[in-house]
Structure formats: C-alpha cells, structure tokens
Amino acid sequence: MTEVLDRPSTTQPPGFGTLFSRLVAGGLVAGALAGVFSLLVTERAIAPALDLEEARTAGEAGHDHGEELFSRGEQLVGGFLGTVLAGVVLAVVFAAVYGAVRHRLPGRTDFARVTVLAAVGFAVLALLPALKLPASPPAVGDPDTVGTRTAIYGATLLCGVVAAVLVGVLVQALRARGVGVPGTTVAAVVASAVALALVLVLVPDNPDVIAADVPAAVVWDFRLASLGQLAVLWAGIGLAGGWFADRATRGPRVR
C-alpha cells in the first residue's frame, strides 16, 4: 500500500464488494439513527393523531389500526425496525448505483462522492415526494384514495429519478464540451428547478381533503418530523457510509 503515496487514494479502483459492505454498514447505522429519531420525535407527532383516531367513535371499515393485531408498544418496535430495514435496503440500492456512477461524481474521495450521491438521493427520494405528497399521520388519509396516492407517490419518485439522470447526462455533456464549473453548475441548478416545477405541476395532486376535525398543527408537526427522519436517514447514509467507504479505499494514513 505504501507505493501509492503520491497518488490520490481514489485513483485505485476499489473492489465493488468492499464498497458494498461499507455502504450497507453505513445504511445500518443510518437506519438505526433515523429509528431513534423516529422514537424520540416522529412518534410524538403520531400520538395526537392516534388520539384523534380513537376519539372518532365511528369505527373505520376495513382498515383497523392499533390494538387488535399489535399493541402500540409493538408498533413502536415495528416503526424502529422498519426504519432500520429501510436504511439497509436503501443502502443496498445506493451501493449499486454508487458503483455505477462513482467515476462521474464530483469529489476526490469516496467520502465526498458518497455524500454527493446521498444528497441527490435525499432530494429525489425524500424531499421531492415530501413537496408533492407531504406525509400524513394516521387518521388523516382517506382509505378510499390510498391507491391513487400510492400511484402519485410512485410517479413522483420515478419522475425524480428520471430528472436526476437527465441532469447528470446534461452535466456530462457540458463537461465534454469544455464548459467550466460555474456554467455547468448554473445549468444543472436551472435544469433541476425546471424539472421540480414540471413534477409539481404535471403530476396530479393529492386528492384528499384533510378532515375538519384534524388540527393543522397535528399534520404540520408530523410532516416536519417525517422529513426530519428522512433527512437523518439520508445524512446517515452519506456520512456514515461515506466515512466507512473512505476508510476502506484510502489506505493507511501516512505522514
């Protein structure tokens, strides 16, 4: 390893298996952090919604929540474990995509590149759907429209991924033509803003009307908490995954 002293560490291509295991370990850490955030913050925002749900004396047909299948305590565990699982699965997908686009990402180290891709992941897979179809706590969504809302959610994610790929292609094309960093950055930001506007305008809106008995603060607090949890998740994938991957590819520290 010492023969590479003068070379930037990231010019030696690491094996995919190394990157994969490091990034998935990062996903596990990220999921656990987001799961703790969920228990400390998001569940507090869910609680008033559940109180509301219980207060509605008319039982909802079809989709029962709460005590019959799992107690609230078990659902808290499920919320934590589900978040951890989401972190691991996202990291598995992230690792494959990272391996495919690593040589095109800006940054000299794997830490820098992983954090850049994680920021894109947060923007496309968390922030964009949060803007288009903001998260709702239990008792807010209309059971009859869940299919429509799921389709909107999926379409938003798909549009976001396509837009991210197109912006990436644009950046590569501009770079290949010798356009400098400022010009490329401006073009990428403008293209992203146009793509965001198109998704917000063209993809159908949430058909639900929030019931009059739901206080705005209940919905707002939950949406902030949900976005915060997703931010922790993606920051964890970027920072923990990036750190682990970087340590694996950097080689021993030499002074």
Within 18-47, the residues that bind other proteins by CB under 8 A are 19-20, 38, 42-43, 46
Question: Could you tell me if 19 and 110 are in contact, meaning their C-beta atoms sit under 8 angstroms apart?
Answer: yes
Residue 210 within binding range of other proteins, rule CB under 8 A: no
Q: Which is nearer to other proteins, 33 or 230 (CB)?
A: 230
Helix segments in the chain, DSSP class H: 16-37, 43-55, 72-101, 110-122, 128-132, 146-176, 181-202, 216-250
Residue 231 within binding range of other proteins, rule CB under 8 A: no
Sign of dihedral through CA atoms 38, 42, 43, 49?
negative
* Closest among 109, 43, 106 to 80, alpha carbons compared: 43
Q: Which is nearer to other proteins, 84 or 195 (CB)?
A: 84
Collect all residues with Cβ–Cβ distance below 8 Å to 75 and sequence separation of at least 6. 66
Q: Which residues ranging from 107 to 126 are in contact with other proteins (CB under 8 A)?
A: 108, 113, 126
Minimum distance from residue 75 beta carbon to other proteins (Å):
5
Residue 116: other Cβ atoms inside 10 A:
17
3-state SS class at 110: helix
Among 55, 58, 69, 209, indicate the residue that binds other proteins (CB under 8 A).
69
Residue 250 within binding range of other proteins, rule CB under 8 A: no
Helix, strand, coil percentages (3-state) for the chain, rounded to 5, are 75, 0, 25
Among 92, 165, 189, 198, indicate the residue that binds other proteins (CB under 8 A).
92
Minimum distance from residue 100 beta carbon to other proteins (Å):
5
* Span interacting with other proteins, options 6-14, 115-123, 197-205, 213-221, rule CB under 8 A: 6-14
Residue 96 within binding range of other proteins, rule CB under 8 A: yes
